[in-house]
Amino acid sequence: MDCSYTNYRLKQKAGYPMKQTETKRRYYEVGLQIEELLFSGVFKAGARLPSERELSERFDTSRATVREAIIMLELKGLVTVRQGAGIFFTETPDSTTNRHILPKSDIGPFELLQARQIIESNIAAFASTQIKFSELRELKQVLAMQESEINGNSDKFEQLDQQFHVLIAESTQNRVLINQAVDMWSHVRTANPLWNELNNQFLHEERLQTLWIDDHKKILLALQKRSPTEARNAVWQHIENSKQELLRLSNLENTDADTDDFFFAVEFDTDFAHPE
């Protein structure tokens, strides 16, 4: 029987793209409803939209979902987010054309980061007890190649990023964990049009790539020390940094104390990871 990991390896060698799921997510539906408001004449070009909190109440959804919807609209060029000022309708000659440039995607970026933070941090903890010297050496080589791509080929940097995280999962020798890691990358991140647009427009900045590399070095060091706690915390903080950068891009209001239905923590909660 084919498994996700086997399919990943086969498709990686053959260069086949992953099939994108067609399931609608709540953020996509909310984004379309806000989009209809923009083009219904309710808002004029340059007009300020209701606040994030007002939109969440209007559409009976979380503020995290509203943020994802606004990110989608911003990537379409339909709105502009001004930090501390709010969301503004940007009507240009290309606005109508851009309304449908992003196809439906299954998982929003905040939901993806939530899953990665919980799952990959624990994968890394277990990997630290299983990883072989040859696998550590391969991770170091991938990290060196990724560092050489800073401010270079964004696609290559992203591929090496995926390879780094999948290699950690592979070192567990556990197919379930490997499949989970591969699924989050291949079926969600690399095949997710919203995440791809975020990466193309924002997440390839040299400053951010340098931050990701520094995080990867800390993860590798924890694995070399074979410390489950340090490996878990290093991956947790790495994804926390990604979340903070994403919040910065969608910073409509003060988001420090409000991520609603998406759980994040600046420091890893060991009680959550190891319930009694």
| Confidence (pLDDT) at 131 | 97
Please state, in angstroms and rounded to a whole number, the distance separating the CA atoms of residues 151 and 210: 9
In the chain, which residues fall in CATH 1.20.120.530? 107-273
| Confidence (pLDDT) at 201 | 63
Tokens standing for residue 145: 């190649």
At 136, is the secondary structure helix, strand, or coil?
helix
Homologous superfamily of 107-273 in CATH? Answer: GntR ligand-binding domain-like (1.20.120.530)
Please state, in angstroms and rounded to a whole number, the distance separating the CA atoms of residues 153 and 117: 26
At 164, is the secondary structure helix, strand, or coil?
helix
Please state, in angstroms and rounded to a whole number, the distance separating the CA atoms of residues 73 and 175: 38
In the chain, which residues fall in CATH 1.10.10.10? 26-98
At 114, is the secondary structure helix, strand, or coil?
helix
Q: What is the fold, at CATH topology level, of the domain defined by 26-98?
A: Arc Repressor Mutant, subunit A (1.10.10)
Q: Going residue by residue through the chain (276 aa), what tens digit of pLDDT does each one get? A: 445 555 555 545 554 443 333 334 678 788 888 888 887 877 777 888 888 888 888 888 888 788 888 888 887 778 887 777 888 888 654 545 445 545 445 567 777 888 899 999 999 999 999 999 999 999 999 999 999 999 877 788 888 999 999 999 999 999 999 999 998 887 666 666 667 666 666 667 888 899 999 999 999 999 999 999 999 999 999 999 988 887 776 654 444 434 444 444 444 444 444 443
Give the type of residue at 52.
E
Taking each helix axis as running N to C, give the angle between helix 63-75 and helix 26-38, from 0 to 180 degrees, rounded to the nearest 10.
60
pTM of the model: 0.63
262: left (phi over 0), alpha (psi -120 to 50) or beta: beta
Please state, in angstroms and rounded to a whole number, the distance separating the CA atoms of residues 99 and 34: 11
Give the type of residue at 103.
P
| Confidence (pLDDT) at 134 | 97
Among residues 87, 118, 111, 141, the alpha carbon closest in space to that of 26 is found at 111
| Confidence (pLDDT) at 84 | 74
232 close to 273: Cβ distance less than 8 angstroms: yes
| Confidence (pLDDT) at 3 | 54
